[in-house]
Amino acid sequence: MRGNPEQPYTRGALCVKVNRYLEHTQADDRILYPLRRTGPKGSGEFERISWEEAFDEITVRLRNIIDEHGGEAIWPYVGTGSLGYIQGCEGVAGRRFWNMLGASKHWLNICATAGGAGLSLTNGTPAGMDPEHLALSRLILLWGTNTLTSGHHLWKFVQDARATGAYVVAIDPIRTRTADQADRHLAIRPGTDAVLALALLNVVLAEGTQDEEFLAEHTQGWESFREEILAYPVERAAEITGIPAADIRELGTRLAHTRPTAIRTTMGIQRHAGGGTALRTIAAIPGVTGDWRHPGGGVAYSTSGHVHLDIDKRDDLLAKPVRTLTMTRLASELDSVKCLWVYAANPVGSTPDANRIRRQLAREDLFTVVMEQFPTDTVDYADIVLPATMQTEHMDLHAGYGHLYLLWNEPAVAPPGECLSTAETFRRLAAHMGMTEPSLYDSDLELAEQLLSSGHPSLEGVTLDRLRKEGWVRMNYPQPFTPFAEGFPTASGRLRFPPRGKAYVPPHSLRTADGSPYPLTLVTPAAHTFLNTIFGNNPELRRRAKEPVVLVNPADAEARGLVSGQRVRVHNASGEFLADVEVSDRVAPGVVASPKGRWPKHSPGGANANAVVAERDADMGRGPAFHDNLVEVSPCAGP
């Protein structure tokens, strides 16, 4: 297995994780057969059964639940384990099946909904510039994004820009490996990015370089937004953000005089109480500077807004409207659920309020089915486990998480053991249950054809034949691509500036830190060696990741008598996890950091960071607040 050097975005580079993918497909702990629980929930004790037995039991349980409690008592809980459009969450594999049963709908809000909502308020869409155009930028702000860890392919475009003199600034509470490589790092207080955005624009106005023509032609709400900007002079912003005024002024001056400026922002900023608003306000910046006019200017967030596959909601298969359950609210919304059906997700490791989730999953009246590749902590609570295929073994259609190509995934090998793909599992279960709706039985290739048939101009010339032959096809967008040079996909066709008083929502951490017994803000970003909880069981990656660490600033360490290497409890009212202290000025006083992605069962104390992440929403899209939790760090009792 190797990367294809001709692929324009990846240029053949694999990351440390996917480099081990083949080995991972053959791992000793791979689940190869259907399993039935034999021990108590949570014990992970199972016996092997046949698919026939598994489907028999599932059929009886589902029918009984539907009879007694209605279809909505079923929660099809699909996660981001695969972003495939046929087998994974992007096309919502299984949707037709669940619609036929009248199951609750599942809202996959765990990742990017707050940011998407914030950007859409401003631009009418979360989509923005082509990330490849970063190569053309003169000033690049890597804002709340750890490119070298969580999306390293983009780095080559940053390097290309640098080769022609671009200046790169990382804005992050942590001095990440990306910040190390940047020309400048601004260590912002978590959750205060909107204030920095306003202050940078304050400098732009002082320099008089706002693009009056762009403002007049393509924006709305400028007069009141201008007042908002003027309310945030650099000194005030320095107090709120913790960034020295001189540094804000310097960056503001660069922003004022550098076209094109690209802002790359991804998921980090939005995981705060005011995260949606932060992206809403950051998105206003190129509206003021006019950067959207230029290739290499604007905001690059996710490219998913440029993908217009027909994801076939098939809501015609629904007999009546059903409720929607929220992924990040698993701990509380499970109250009214009798069947939890987990696929491509690992909620015990990845979802807020892990201790409450465990208590829910231990309920005897809850029937839990997990489709999995590996014996995760979530699998341990399953009544029935169904063995799932991996990328090398199933067919899929993918879109980039940060580029404009569609990609075809042709299976390379037969599935091991009795593993089945998601789509095939639902086809066979439907047959077992005697369901007659013909579209439940569409093949993977038929599903792919349907996905490509939305008729959207971006898919013109993008055919299944080409995809299968060429492996990837760039969607039909112009080159260079300046999506908003002539206007925005809003009702008025204009960029909508945030109204007065709506440009900044303070983080939970700042609002509640005073007098709290938990004075430290915990940030839990992407780990270099894991992909969410995927690879959390890979021996070599675990060896490289070492024991879980928590970064603590020297001042905070001294105040608590903590030294590097010491095992500590990171705790709050929700729970605790254990980690080894790394005393480091990579975090500012008041901020501690510990990467996500550990399997709780492979962690000291049997818990990961989500034991202390509260089930609490960001301001928009009900997004989670993974980086906005207050904790205390205390020495472990005992020897």
| Of 111 and 198, CB closest to Mo ion | 111
Picked from Mo ion, ligand MGD, none, the partner binding residue 258 (CB below 5 to 8 A depending on kind) is: none
CB of 111 to Mo ion, least distance (A): 3
Picked from ligand MGD, Mo ion, none, the partner binding residue 380 (CB below 5 to 8 A depending on kind) is: none
Q: How many residues bind Mo ion (CB under 5 A)?
A: 1
CB of 67 to ligand MGD, least distance (A): 27
| Of 505 and 568, CB closest to ligand MGD | 505
End-to-end CA distance of the chain: 46
Picked from ligand MGD, Mo ion, none, the partner binding residue 193 (CB below 5 to 8 A depending on kind) is: ligand MGD
| Of 583 and 611, CB closest to ligand MGD | 611
CB of 518 to ligand MGD, least distance (A): 16
379, 371 Cβ separation under 8 angstroms: no
CB of 130 to ligand MGD, least distance (A): 18
Picked from Mo ion, ligand MGD, none, the partner binding residue 149 (CB below 5 to 8 A depending on kind) is: ligand MGD
Picked from Mo ion, ligand MGD, none, the partner binding residue 272 (CB below 5 to 8 A depending on kind) is: ligand MGD
| Of 15 and 234, CB closest to Mo ion | 15
Phi, psi of 614 (to 5 degrees): -80, 155
78, 92 Cβ separation under 8 angstroms: yes
Picked from ligand MGD, Mo ion, none, the partner binding residue 174 (CB below 5 to 8 A depending on kind) is: ligand MGD
Contact between 527 and Mo ion by CB under 5 A: the answer reads no
Return residues touching ligand MGD (CB under 6 A): 79-82, 87-88, 110-111, 143-146, 149-151, 171-174, 176, 188, 190-191, 193, 266-269, 271-272, 343-347, 349-350, 371-374, 376, 388, 422, 523-528, 530-534, 596-597, 609-610, 613, 626-627
CB of 302 to Mo ion, least distance (A): 10
583, 564 Cβ separation under 8 angstroms: yes
Cβ contacts of residue 616 below 8 Å, gap of 6+? 273, 352, 508, 624, 625, 628
CB atoms within 10 A of CB 26: 10
| Of 102 and 116, CB closest to Mo ion | 116
| Of 82 and 209, CB closest to ligand MGD | 82
| Of 268 and 575, CB closest to ligand MGD | 268
Closest CA relative to residue 285, chosen from 368, 350, 209, 352? 209
Cβ contacts of residue 484 below 8 Å, gap of 6+? 123, 128, 218, 292, 298, 495
Picked from Mo ion, ligand MGD, none, the partner binding residue 376 (CB below 5 to 8 A depending on kind) is: ligand MGD
Please report, for residues 206, 243, 298, the alpha-carbon distance to residue 284 in angstroms, rounded to integers and kept in the order given: 17, 21, 10
368, 12 Cβ separation under 8 angstroms: no
Phi, psi of 528 (to 5 degrees): -65, -35
CB of 366 to ligand MGD, least distance (A): 18
Contact between 111 and Mo ion by CB under 5 A: the answer reads yes
What letter does residue 105 receive in the DSSP assignment?
Answer: E
| Of 238 and 344, CB closest to Mo ion | 344
Please report, for residues 309, 466, 548, the alpha-carbon distance to residue 449 in angstroms, rounded to integers and kept in the order given: 10, 12, 44
| Of 371 and 562, CB closest to ligand MGD | 371
Tokens of residue 266, six digits: 């991804």
CB of 341 to ligand MGD, least distance (A): 11
Separation CA 518–CA 635 (nearest Å): 14
194, 183 Cβ separation under 8 angstroms: no
CB of 411 to ligand MGD, least distance (A): 12
| Of 82 and 277, CB closest to ligand MGD | 82
Tokens of residue 276, six digits: 């949606």
CB of 222 to ligand MGD, least distance (A): 25
CB of 16 to ligand MGD, least distance (A): 8
Cβ contacts of residue 266 below 8 Å, gap of 6+? 115, 144, 145, 150, 151, 301, 302, 402
211, 292 Cβ separation under 8 angstroms: no
Contact footprint for Mo ion (CB under 5 A): 111
